[in-house]
Structure 1
Amino acid sequence: MAGIGFTLRRLTQRDDLMGIVSGYGHSLFISAGPWLLTVGALVGINSVLGQTLDQNAHRLFGSILIYNFSVSLVVTGPVVLVSTRYLADRVFEKRLETATGLLMTSMVLGTMPGLVIAIPFYVIACDLPIATVAIALSHYAVISGVWIAALFLSALKAYVRVTISFGIGMATAFGAASWLGARYGVDGALGGFTIGLTVTLIVILATVLSEYRFRLQQPFAVLPYVGRYWDMALGGLVYNLAVWVDKWIIWSGPGHVTIAGALTTSPIYDGAMFLAYLTIIPALAVFTVTVETDFFEDYQRFYRDLGQHGTLNQIKDNQKRLITAIVNGLRTVLVLQTVIAVLAIFFAPEIIRATSGSSQQIAVFRFGVLGALFHVLMMFCVILLQYFDARRPALFVQMTFLATSAVATWLSIDLGFAYLGYGYFVAALITFIVSIALVFAVIARLPYLAFVRNNPSVYNA
């Protein structure tokens, strides 16, 4: 992400307001494009379809989207991380002739396993008409493709086309789902939403393929990376499981709603938590434009001087610069996210009312906002660990998040409705403490890691 981050940072450094607005505006779609597309379109669609669909049809539409959204994120997580590592290595080597093959292989690896799960689930476990099943499976395949294709955008500097692709997709999804939903019910709404996602996917693929104008070659070159970076692949799976495990546990508790046989959700909890997640997006944009780019400059200086046989004093000075950059970055994200969290908590009743939510969601939303505060800081720490190739510590953080989220959410159910969202908050807080401790433990041993632990010629000798 640092490559396109530098381009956006130059936009924000122009001497006009539009440069700042453009830089951070584009970064919103780059850092959270699929999430913005889904939530933005859903909010608009729900406001329209709430007047035309009955309650059961409306819940069926939302449930299918949530299930596809969650399973696709979990299944594609390992593929996205391993493919990102492979692509980053090829960018560093300036050998991008295999990028087209990587795209095609990643699309297959990211989509097919999920369909193996989704097909029997919708066909056997759910009581749905065949037309609805076909559209639901199409939606799953397309959203999985969007997750995969979007990772290639981070290596490009075509930020305008990135924004346009998600903007067009969001508008198409809203318009098509609203128009078709009013005429054909759930099938129309789900089909229209899928059309919008398909438009986004087509535009993303066209953008990527126009940049990587290579013939399809070495499509399976990424497969050895799965074994070499198994801990990174496992981390992608575990992290996305951690993000969703609290919802799955809540769906089995009091207040859940079951429709079409096997589609079980908790509208009160789900809606409040999705709104809470939106508070992360500004911090992600700032991280992309300023925090990561500032850190990356010091990161490059440290390893460049190592490669040029810098003195011990230079190495130590560069290490201190990295520590300063990390502290400054954490402070920036912490201050921004804290301000957003305070405002969101204070105006929670108005926010819930504006989104046509229930008053029961206010407390859940506030816990979710507090959890999001520490969640985004934890994400920052995991990214830093990945930069230093500390894959095992990063995996430990992700496993901590999964375990604490599952246990804390399960315990919160026994405490009663007033504690919904408490599990996510506690899990994010504990995981952030663990992650920040590991980051500074790694940075304190950085010279040793660079010379010995991460040096194959020494460590594997």
Structure 2
Amino acid sequence: MAGIGFELRKLLQRDSYAGLLKAYAYAGVISSGPWVLSIVGILLVGMIAAGSAADREVTRFQVMVTWLILCSLVLTGPIQLSFTRWVADRLFERRRDLIVPNFLGALLLVLAGCGTLGLLAAALLFPGQGNLLRVLIGSGLAVLGGIWLTTIFLSGMKQYGAIVLLFLLGYGVTVLASLGLRRFGLEGLLGGFVLGQFVLLAGMLMMVLRTLPTERMIAFAFLRRGAMYGTLVWVGVLYNLGVWADKLVFWLSPEVSQPIIGPLRASIIYDLPAFLAYLAIIPGMAVFLVRIETDFVEYYERFFDAVREGGSLDQIRHLRDEMVFTIRQGLYEILKIQGITTVLVMVLAPRVLDWIGISHLYLPLLYLDVVAASLQVVLLGLLNIFFYLDRRRVVLGLTVLLLALNTGLSWLTLQLGAAYYGYGVALAMMITVFVAMLALESRLHRLEYETFMLQ
């Protein structure tokens, strides 16, 4: 992420409203990335196609894409964080020549692994479907997995305008192709989605190769014993499961979900508010990226440079205090922006639901989901700080806590009844954020000791 931090600092140093808005706009798009844009895409397809004869196929398409996103995130979770750390270590060692060949090796593994698992799952779990749909399921899972991995590299690049245009192109093709092919039923809708995602992945890959040229094609050095951290492998899986746990609880509960296609289920009561709520995280994600990658990283680097280069005790303590101050200010700004966003959503939500033709009965659940999504942004900020401080076991503990709480509390709300839906994920996020803040405060108080004595 060093590249984006450097460029964001340059934009902010222009001391103009244009530079400020540009920095936050780029940060919002890059930090939200394909995940939020995928939600927007499938919601747009559903809204535009509403009322057509293919309503049932549109619903099946949206549910299938949602499950593809979930499965691709979980399957690539073990490699996303661990490979990112491997790349960071190579950059620290000034061995940039190793990055692209190993990235291509990792991408090959992701595409082959996700594609194979997708085809097997489609053959075994969708026996009544045609071969074309099975191929689209396998290729969709592979392409999405490749996008999650490649997005890591986009965050370190300087061509923000090109990245934004690439996202717009990819998701523009996704929506237009899905709508244009909807007359062919589910295969047409899913084929349009896979085509748009393939365009996005191809563009991202071209940008990576142009920005980081290489003499070798493919390498697998990152798979050597001890090259990647096992804790990060588990964090990647557990975090994604923890974020999706409440949805899985509702999808797998027959009393509040319906079978849609094959083994895939959806919850009409729960799903739409949960996905709409994620659109409200874009402002907070922009603030998170700008503040973490500018103020905090600047003092973080200066603090550890002073430690490595033998700075005075007063200088080290001053930089430590400045780093702690920027952490608190950054978290405060995230809370402030997400708080304002939450209030705006509560004010505008009735009109938005009227516009898309949804009952106001969804409002209480939507409010709770917006609160949960906002707290998730705060949690991401806290986890990112722990990653910088190399406290991987703390992050692992927090992700285990999130998964356990979100699963248990969401199941409990199911037993209590519809009036309590949404409280499970909101409370799970709130408790996890509170525990993370306590852990961070404790670590910051012991920062000098752990930096000098535990090396």
TM-score computed with the length of structure 1 as normaliser: 0.94
Q: Which residue pairs with 1:379 in the alignment? A: 380
Is 1:186 the counterpart of 2:186? The answer is yes
Residue 49 of structure 2 contacts residue 55 of structure 2 at CA under 8 Å; is this kept in 1? no
Structure 1 CA distance for aligned equivalents of residues 92 and 373 of structure 2? 33
SS in 2 for 1:268: coil
- Counterpart-to-counterpart distance in 1, 2:92 and 2:99: 13
Q: Show the 5 A alignment for 1:31-70.
A: 31-70=31-70
Describe how 1:130-145 pairs up with structure 2 within 5 A.
130-145=131-146
Shift in Å, 1:407: 0.5
CA distance in 1, matches of 2:24, 2:334: 14
Q: Residue 459 of structure 1 corresponds to which residue in structure 2? A: none
Residue in 1 that maps onto 2:407: 406
Match for 1:52: what amino acid? S
Instruction: For 2:171 and 2:303, locate their aligned partners in 1 and report how far apart those are by CA, in whole Å.
Output: 41
1:217-265 deviations in Å (ceiling 9; x for gaps): 6711111376651011111110001011111111122221102231111
Distance 1:226 1:269 in 2: 42
Could you tell me which amino acid in structure 2 is paired with residue 322 of structure 1?
M
* Structure 2 residue runs without a partner (length 5+): none
1:195: Cα distance to partner?
A: 0.9
Structure 1 position 364, deviation (Å): 1.5
One-letter code aligned to 2:451 = A
Taking every aligned residue pair, what percent have the same amino acid on both sides?
A: 32
Question: Counterparts of 1:266 and 1:226 in 2: how far apart (Å)?
Answer: 42
Structure 1 residue 352, shift from structure 2 partner: 2.4
Q: Does 1:155 align with 2:156?
A: yes
Q: Counterparts of 2:53 and 2:87 in 1: how far apart (Å)?
A: 44
Q: 2:231 is matched by which residue type in structure 1? A: D
Q: Which residue of 1 aligns with 2:94?
A: 94
Alpha-carbon separation, structure 1, partners of 2:270 and 2:209:
40
Deviates more, 1:151-160 or 1:138-147: 151-160
For normalisation by structure 2, the TM-score amounts to: 0.95
* Aligned-partner residue type, residue 436 of structure 1: M
Which deviates the most, 389-398 or 101-110? 101-110
- Of 346-355 and 63-72, the range deviating more from structure 2: 346-355
Q: Distance in 1 between matches of 2:277 and 2:432?
A: 18
Aligned alpha-carbon RMSD (Å): 1.8
Aligned to 1:72: 72
Matched, 1:219 2:219: yes
The range that moved more, 12-21 or 234-243, is 12-21
The CA deviation at 1:449 is: 1.9
Structure 1 227/325 Cα, relative in aligned 2: closer, same or farther at 3 Å?
Answer: same
- Which piece of structure 1 moves more, 162-171 or 312-321? 312-321
Counterpart contact for 1:37–1:169, Cα < 8 Å: no
State the alpha-carbon separation in 2 of the partners of residues 413 and 320 from structure 1. 46
* Partner in structure 2 of residue 352 of structure 1: 353
Question: 1:176–1:189: 8 Å Cα contact kept in structure 2?
Answer: yes
Helix, strand or coil at the partner of 1:97: helix
CA distance in 2, matches of 1:113, 1:75: 9
**Structure 2 partner of 1:300:** 301
Q: Which runs of 5+ in 1 are unaligned?
A: 456-461
Q: Which residue of 2 aligns with 1:250?
A: 250
Aligned-residue offset at 1:17: 4.2
Post-superposition, which runs of at least 4 consecutive aligned residues in structure 1 deviate over 4 A?
225-228
Q: Secondary structure at the match of 1:219?
A: coil
Give the secondary structure class of the aligned counterpart of 2:360. coil
Q: Deviations over 1:403-443 (max 9, x none)?
A: 10010001010011121111100100000011111111111
CA distance in 2, matches of 1:427, 1:336: 21
Shift of 1:97: 0.9
- What is the CA distance between 1:141 and its match in structure 2? 1.0
Q: Deviations over 1:132-171 (max 9, x none)?
A: 1211221111111110111111222121221121111011
Q: Deviations over 1:55-77 (max 9, x none)?
A: 32122101110110001011111
Rounded to whole Å, the distance in 2 between the matches of 1:25 and 1:192 is: 28
* CA distance in structure 1 between the partners assigned to 2:53 and 2:367 by the alignment: 30
Give the conservation status (yes or no) of the 8 Å contact 2:63–2:264.
yes
SS at match of 1:259: strand
- Tell me the number of residue pairs that the alignment of Structure 1 and Structure 2 aligns: 453
**Shift of residue 286, structure 1, vs aligned partner:** 1.5
Shift of 1:358: 3.5
Please identify, of 14-23 and 296-305, the stretch whose mean Cα deviation from structure 2 is larger.
Answer: 14-23
More deviation in 347-356 or 359-368?
347-356
Separation in 2, partners of 1:186, 1:217: 37
Residue aligning to 2:273: 272
Distance 2:325 2:17 in 1: 29
